[in-house]
Chains A and B, each alone.
Chain A
């Protein structure tokens, strides 16, 4: 993978003069994992959305390979795979159809078969997404991220609704992604559901009024 670096410089976001997060600066290089931790309402999701260009920050800037992401929008977006609270998959399509319409034809079919087997979803691949359980839906969404072949994964509470086996399996996949030069930003509110990280930002120290 190409040498890449993600930097955030003094990111701040205010809504109605209330700080959602403030003074966030970090540097993430290839093979590193950044964890955003903090209690509920501490601004993890909003910060993650800012890093995906879904929410605009009030001040500060995000840089990808030393260029401001606002000026190289597409080049940055081409490298990220995002999983938010919403899984981003469609109820009316089957699991397989969902993977196909979101990734097109550009994914490794053998890898998909392996992932489906590891996540115990092989028998459910032709079932409507709406019929799956919440945990199975989350696993399907994670499969989309894994197969997207993007360098930077941005995951918001990735382990919600997942069983222990699946969490172990994803831990292994994430380690291999990082070893291959990938980057990961994840948000988590519970310390037990956390993969080893290189950088941690705790958002609890800031003033948050909900």
Chain B
């Protein structure tokens, strides 16, 4: 199985199984929109909230959708077939995780561009929100994929994925929120952004390898 076959396959499947992606995206939209509705129209409060709200909503939505990243392939035996190929299994998993990010997180980031306007975020800060979300969702997707692979053989993983992912994702949430907050008050936010970039490279390079090993153990 070649990489381009996996890309083609995952795109086709996500179109035919669009409810999986849409449910996660609608969930993100609702969580992110409910805060300005509930907290009122006070500008300072909303500007202070926007960072954590965006990141936590993105985290919850990706944890919800990631359950189906490997499970159907595990059930129908495609994962086994992927292991019996000459391609590196870790690389195939990396492609699958990146496909999930493109199919799920990219529309989510696009939606976030519009949602942040309800929090009075404008101008350059909007760009920071997008950049922070790109960096943090890449890390979050890798972390969630790892949790999904650990719970692969469990029939109803339920809250187990959250118990694994939330503690691991705390640094990303903290530094991501800080990057957005500093940008809103027009201060230098390069520190948190450097940290997020580092985390992104760390999770993207190590994540697929660890995830592939966890899948191998689940399949054994």
**Chain A residues in contact with chain B, CB under 8 A?**
52-56, 74, 77-78, 80, 82, 84-93, 97, 101-102, 104
Beyond A54-B219, A91-B72, whether A82 also contacts B5 by CB under 8 A is: no
Inter-subunit contact A92/B86 (CB<8 Å): no
B220 touches A102 (CB 8 A): no
In the complex with contacts A78-B86, A88-B80, A91-B72, A101-B220 CB distance below 8 A:
no
Which residues on B sit within 8 Å (CB–CB) of A101?
A: 1, 5-6, 8-9, 12
In the assembled complex, which residues on chain A have CB atoms less than 8 Å from the CB atom of B84? 52-54, 77, 80, 82
Min CB distance, B217 to chain A, in Å?
10
Q: A77-B84, A86-B76, A90-B9 are in contact. List 16 more A-B contacts (CB 8 A).
A: A53-B84, A54-B80, A80-B84, A82-B81, A84-B77, A85-B77, A86-B77, A87-B76, A88-B81, A89-B76, A90-B13, A90-B76, A91-B76, A92-B12, A102-B1, A104-B1
A82 to B1, CA, bound (A): 13
CB proximity of B7 to chain A, nearest CB, Å: 10
Residues on B close to A: CB < 8 A? Answer: 1-2, 5-6, 8-9, 12-13, 16-17, 72-73, 75-78, 80-81, 83-86, 219-220
How many residue pairs between the two chains, A and B, have CB atoms under 8 Å in the bound complex? 66
| Inter-chain contact B80/A102, CB cutoff 8 Å | no
Give chain B residues whose Cβ lies under 8 Å from the Cβ of A102: 1, 5, 81
In the complex, A97→B12 CA distance in Å? Answer: 10
User: What are 23 pairs between A and B in contact, CB < 8 Å?
Assistant: A52-B84, A54-B80, A54-B84, A54-B220, A56-B220, A77-B86, A82-B81, A84-B77, A84-B80, A86-B75, A86-B80, A87-B77, A88-B80, A88-B81, A91-B72, A92-B16, A93-B9, A93-B12, A101-B1, A102-B5, A102-B81, A104-B2, A104-B5
**Residue from B1, B16, B84, B85 whose CB has the most chain A CB atoms within 10 Å:** B84
Chain B neighbourhood of A97, CB < 8 A: 12
CA distance A54 to B17 in the complex (A): 29
**Cβ B86 vs Cβ A89 within 8 A:** no
Q: Which residues of B contact A80 (CB under 8 A)?
A: 84
B68 CB, nearest partner CB in chain A, Å: 11
Minimum C-beta distance from B149 to chain A (A): 16
* Chain B contacts for A55, CB-based, 8 A: 220
Interface centre among B80, B83, B85 (most CB of A within 10 A): B80
B78 touches A90 (CB 8 A): yes
Residues of A within 8 A of B72 (CB): 90-91
Q: How far is the CA of A102 from the CA of B5 in the complex (A)?
A: 7
Cα A74 to Cα B83 with chains together (Å): 11
List of B residues within 8 angstroms of A56 by Cβ: 220
Question: How far, in whole Å, are A52 and B220 apart by their CA atoms in the complex?
Answer: 11
Q: Which residue of chain A has its CB nearest to the CB of B4?
A: A104
In the assembly, what is the distance between CA of A74 and CA of B87, in Å? 8
> Which are the 3 A-B pairs with shortest beta-carbon distances?
A86-B77, A88-B77, A92-B16
Report Cα–Cα, A20/B183, bound state, in Å. 61
Residue in B8, B12, B77, B83 whose Cβ sees the most chain A Cβ within 10 Å: B77
Q: Bound complex: CA of A53 vs CA of B85, how far in Å?
A: 11
The distance in angstroms between the C-alpha atoms of A52 and B84, with both chains bound, is: 7
